[in-house]
Amino acid sequence: MYIQPGKPQQNGLVERFNGSFRRELLDAYLFENLSQVRDMVWFCLLDYNGERTHESLGNLPPAAYRAKLENYHLELCH
């Protein structure tokens, strides 16, 4: 997928994540070294994908939504 420069509205989902990531992590902490940044990014991604609910996914975290979809597809196949 090609996104034109200066057209963030063409990629709204990624832009939404980038805004949340900047606001909740990069702007919220003062890091002392790159290792701290890597650790915090890892924990942020675990939370974002595993714990944090997303309105667009029926207020489920992505991991739970994926499991729900996988179970649904298994039920369809049997």
Other C-beta atoms closer than 10 Å to the C-beta of 32 total 8
Look at residue 49 and tell me whether its pLDDT is greater than 90.
no
Asked whether residue 3 is domain-assigned, the answer is no
The pLDDT score that the predictor gives to residue 41 is 95
DSSP string, the chain: ----TT-GGGGHHHHHHHHHHIIIIITT---SSHHHHHHHHHHHHHHHHHT--BGGGTSB-HHHHHHHHHHHHHHHH-
pLDDT (average), residues 46-51: 90
Q: What is the mean predicted confidence (pLDDT) over 39-59? A: 92
Q: What is the pLDDT of residue 78?
A: 66
Name the pTM for this structure: 0.66
Domain count, the chain: 1
**Residue range of the domain that includes 49:** 10-77
Asked if the structure places residue 47 within a domain, the reply is yes
Segment 10-24 mean pLDDT? 88
When pLDDT is cut at 50, 70 and 90, the band that residue 17 belongs to is confident
- Residue 68 belongs to a domain: yes
Does residue 58 form part of some domain?
Answer: yes
In a domain, 72, yes or no: yes
